[in-house]
Amino acid sequence: MANHASAIKRYRQSQKRRLTNQMNRNRLKSQLKKLRAAITAGKAEDAKAQLPETFGVIDKSVRKGVIKKNTAGRYKSRLTKKVNALPAA
């Protein structure tokens, strides 16, 4: 453990940031899993309803620095293709 006051403060700050980053990463992963599960199950209506919500989470993740801009674009493109390929039920 650190002995200097500034190092102790730095440690506290890094712990807070770590928890925030974990929360943001988990939110993104959960939303992607939910959408991919709907796609795999073939639930076209559910997938189309979840797509805008997922895009919002992806865009927010870019702003928070969880993923990069190009990665977000790639996710959105691939998810859109998969959702559009689903047969309309």
Over pLDDT 90: what percentage of the chain? Answer: 92
Query: 69-85 and 5-41 are packed helices; what angle lies between their axes, rounded to 10 degrees?
Result: 20
Spatial contact of 31 and 57, defined as CB atoms under 8 Å apart: yes
Amino acid at the residue 32: L
* Per-residue model confidence (pLDDT) at position 88: 75
> Structure pTM?
0.86
Q: Domain extents for the chain? A: 27-85
Across the chain, mean pLDDT equals: 94
pLDDT for 43-64, tens place per residue? 999 999 999 999 999 999 999 9
Tokens 């801009």 sit at which residue?
69
Length of the chain: 89
pLDDT tens-digit series, residues 8-48 = 999 999 999 999 999 999 999 999 999 999 999 999 999 99
